[in-house]
Amino acid sequence: MWTKPYGRTGKNVSVISFGGMRFPEPANIAKSAELVLYAHAKGINYFDTAPYYCEDKSEDIMGAAFKQMPRSSFYCSSKCGEADGAVFRASIESSLKRLNVEQIDFFHIWCLVHPTDWEARKKGGAVAAALKAKEEGLIGHVVTSAHLNGTDIGKVVDEGTVEGLTIGYNALNFPFRGEALEAASRAKVGVVTMNPLGGGLIPNNAARLEFLKGPNDASVVEAALRFNVSQPAITSALVGFANTQQIDEAVSAVANFKPYPPQHIEQLKAHIRGSFDGFCTGCGYCLPCPSEVPIPRLMEAFNCSLLDQGDASLLSRLSDHWGVGPDAALACTECGLCEGRCTQHLPIRDRLKHIGTLKQ
């Protein structure tokens, strides 16, 4: 497996990493752990999990697998999203026990969604708790998971506290996160990209996205993974695996692969910008909604209609991926607060009106 240096940490991470949020039978710890062991045997050495994933079983599954793997052969990653320092510390200690390790290699200050979240983590003591745990050897590296735009992620990086980032980045939302990659590169910070397949949007719309494929790409999935890992600032693409076939496909995508040249990447970006103007990147800045409309979920589903110019895929995405119906849009009072916050200036109210007229 091809590896890359994770920023300035001195650790070399496989360019495909394992996301522990898709186990199909999480209650079956032993069977689920076999999937982790299979990925490890295929050369994947970075395993990401968190409390609450997979009915709160993901850390236990990882721990069951880790007991069977030489400790020097893998890196583990977990997270806590609490701002309170005492709660944050307790979460670290719980994760250590569940993962069956003495040190968590990469521990995330989890889920920065709004620009104020980082300051809240500092004021609440979470950042200090993370740094203290690192001093004590319980954490190898303090990192963060962020859903902010590139500019705001860059501000966090520039403070110098974190040594790595986990951010959503793929062939459909890359314009929103470009500045984050630039900041990470300047600071020599590692970057793991979550949702490199757009949460399923890319494989589910393979025909529409056929142009992503180069002459040597076997599939759109392969091309999308290669798009990510070809970029120097990206250390690894984090994929949520549910079966061995998916592992084989991802590992095959980077086997004997020479990274795309920069000009190919830029050509793809230009094509995507021209084809999918108006895509919601899922930053969440539109929240909170005073009427509690789940705007990011509804807008992400609306992306499907932009991909295939139809509402059937929008409805399917809402139901199958998000578990909500189009009637969720009916609570909108058209106050306009969301549009005032939207960094892309999308016509959110008009899109919500359209969604609200659809029948499940």
Residue 174's pLDDT band (cuts 50, 70, 90): confident
Q: What CATH superfamily is the domain 3-269?
A: NADP-dependent oxidoreductase domain (3.20.20.100)
Residue with tokens 């959503």: 168
Query: In this predicted structure, what is the pLDDT of residue 168?
Result: 86
Orientation of helix 244-254 relative to helix 220-229, angle to 10°: 60
| Structure tokens that stand for 219 in this block | 């599939």
Determine the average pLDDT of the residues in 27-31: 97
Segments making up each domain of the chain, as ranges: 3-269, 295-356
Determine the average pLDDT of the residues in 159-183: 87
Query: In this predicted structure, what is the pLDDT of residue 124?
Result: 97
Rounded distance between C-alpha atoms, residue 290 and residue 307, angstroms: 30
- 248-283 confidence digits (pLDDT tens): 999 999 998 999 999 988 888 888 877 777 888 777
Among 182-186, 253-257, 270-274, 319-323, the least confident range: 270-274
- 32-68 confidence digits (pLDDT tens): 999 999 999 999 999 999 999 999 999 999 999 999 9
Residue 360's pLDDT band (cuts 50, 70, 90): low
pLDDT for 311 beyond 80 = yes
Determine the average pLDDT of the residues in 321-336: 93
**H-run or E-run covering 42:** none
Is residue 281 classed as helix, strand or coil in its secondary structure? coil
pLDDT for 113 beyond 90 = no
Residue 359's pLDDT band (cuts 50, 70, 90): confident
Rounded distance between C-alpha atoms, residue 312 and residue 90, angstroms: 45
pLDDT for 319 beyond 80 = yes
pTM strictly above 0.95 = no
Is residue 164 classed as helix, strand or coil in its secondary structure? strand
| Structure tokens that stand for 279 in this block | 């895509």
Percent of the chain whose pLDDT exceeds 90: 69
Integer angstrom CA distances of residue 142 from 4, 48, 103, 124: 19, 14, 12, 16
Rounded distance between C-alpha atoms, residue 4 and residue 20, angstroms: 21
Q: Say what the alpha-carbon torsion angle 25, 26, 31, 36 is, to the nearest 10 degrees.
A: 120
